[in-house]
């Protein structure tokens, strides 16, 4: 492979700067990581998840035994989370409303996600809706209590799933906050998700990783080859 000429590299950097300027918009202000972290806790989602983690951790502490096998399910969930994230994003969050007779099937989380695409800078819309999160957490606790014959494994499952959810909420919030990326890894994730919002909503579905499940499912194209979508802020042309 031949190296691109300095002129081409300079043009690429110019286009990148132009794209990022268009993406961030005039409303963006400077924010440190510490300020972003403090602002993150002003929303209910982190507290709800933290309460679940702490409750499960305290309960796990009363079970005085440990086996490495209890880590199998949480570790597998973390390993396959990019696939889970991709499937939920495509199937649930980008759900196209359908009508069955007089009934319109359009889940709250899908409606909130359309609103999130309409204004990616509306921070409360970045988080999982609390009405939905309640059921997700209740379901996680129920699975931990009922699906595991070993109580210790059940509590460890709850802790692991809740921590992954916390990581998702933090990553998604940080991407949409005023904090500007500095490290290469985070900048790649930041860029990937912003391409989904501002370039074309049919690609780049992962949020916490880049070039993982999107590459697996064929939704990780070269941005230069993708046409800018007219419905990135109006999913399905619903408005």
Residue 210 lies in a domain: no
Q: Name all contacts of 100-107 with Cβ < 8 Å and 24+ positions apart.
A: none
pLDDT digits (tens), the chain, 239 positions: 444 456 555 554 555 555 556 555 545 568 999 999 999 999 999 999 999 999 999 999 999 888 888 999 999 999 999 999 999 999 999 999 999 988 999 999 999 999 999 999 999 999 999 999 999 999 999 999 999 989 999 999 999 999 999 999 999 999 999 998 889 999 999 999 999 999 999 999 999 999 999 999 999 999 989 999 999 999 977 65
Residue 65 belongs to domain spanning = 46-185
Angle, vertex CA 205, rays to CA 203 and CA 207, nearest 5? 140
Residue 91 lies in a domain: yes
Residues 6+ apart with CB under 8 A from 23: 194, 197, 198
Residue 138 lies in a domain: yes
Round to whole Å and give the CA distance between 221 and 224. Answer: 8
Residue 76 lies in a domain: yes
Residues 6+ apart with CB under 8 A from 137: 48, 49, 52, 162
Residue 129 lies in a domain: yes
pLDDT for the residue 4: 46
pTM as predicted: 0.86
pLDDT for the residue 43: 97
Q: How many domains does the chain have?
A: 1
Residues facing 105 on adjacent strands: 98
Round to whole Å and give the CA distance between 94 and 87. Answer: 10
Residue 152 lies in a domain: yes
């Amino acid at each position: 492979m031949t190296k691109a000429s300095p002129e081409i590299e300079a043009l690429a950097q110019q286009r990148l700067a132009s794209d990022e300027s268009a993406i961030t918009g005039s409303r963006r202000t400077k924010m440190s990581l510490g300020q972003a972290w403090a602002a993150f806790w002003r929303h209910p989602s982190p507290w709800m998840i933290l309460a679940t983690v702490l409750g499960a951790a305290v309960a796990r502490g009363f079970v005085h035994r440990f086996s490495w096998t209890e880590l199998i399910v949480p570790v597998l969930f973390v390993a396959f989370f990019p696939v889970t994230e991709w499937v939920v994003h495509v199937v649930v969050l980008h759900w196209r409303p359908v009508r069955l007779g007089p009934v319109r099937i359009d889940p709250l989380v899908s409606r909130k996600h359309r609103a999130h695409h309409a204004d990616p800078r509306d921070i409360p819309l970045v988080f999982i809706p609390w009405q939905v999160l309640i059921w997700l957490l209740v379901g996680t606790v129920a699975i931990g209590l009922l699906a595991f014959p070993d109580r210790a494994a059940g509590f460890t499952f709850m802790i692991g799933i809740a921590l992954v959810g916390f990581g998702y909420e933090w990553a998604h919030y940080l991407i949409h906050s005023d904090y500007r990326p500095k490290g290469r890894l985070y900048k790649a994730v930041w860029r990937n998700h912003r391409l989904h919002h501002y370039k074309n909503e049919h690609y780049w579905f992962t949020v916490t990783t880049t070039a993982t499940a999107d590459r697996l499912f064929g939704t990780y194209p070269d941005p230069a080859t993708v046409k800018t979508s007219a419905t990135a802020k109006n999913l399905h042309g619903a408005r």
